[in-house]
Structure 1
Amino acid sequence: MQGLVRKTLEEHISVARAMDALEPEIAEAGQICASALQAGKRIYLCGNGGSAADAQHIAAELIGRFVGERRSLPAIALTTDTSALTAIGNDYG
């Protein structure tokens, strides 16, 4: 079990280190979302499996509040029926 835990931790550390190279793309994605919201548009999110849950969580944080008090930001997770959506997606690829 300790070997599995160590391997998992090392994989997470490796991913965290790789994030530095992705910083420009992550910042650009954030700017695109911010510009869309400033233009009165809405953010649509989706995912498959665990990423579907992530999409719902991000939408909830935008609709509610993330860190401090602020107005609600328009967002929709297209994966709200995750059981059906992800089961069908997994069955058909």
Structure 2
Amino acid sequence: MKQSFVYILKCSDNSYYTGVTSNLSKRLIEHRTGKHKDSYTFNRRPIDLVFYAEFTDINLAIQTEKQIKKWSRVKKEALINGEFEKLPNLAKKSFNR
């Protein structure tokens, strides 16, 4: 089975970029060298790989990437830090009451 990866990069402006790829090392080189001038990370280099997960089902990888992209910064950082027990309780957004 072909492997797929969901990954999170920390950019030089401290923002996070989440992506999916079938070749993580190649994709990291593309981000680091600025291969795609219109990409989110192009003007936010240098970047650091801070998280990745391996999948055997590309559809599940794509679904996971889309899910993580909707998460708050705090929830992404809990994932990055391996604080999995915190994930269910971290809301996507905070609401003023």
Greater fraction strand:
2
- Rg larger in structure: 1
TM-score range (shorter-chain normalised) is under 0.3
Q: TM-score, normalised by structure 2?
A: 0.26
The structure showing larger relative contact order (alpha-carbon pairs under 8 Å, at least 6 residues apart) is 2
Q: Which has the higher helix share?
A: 1
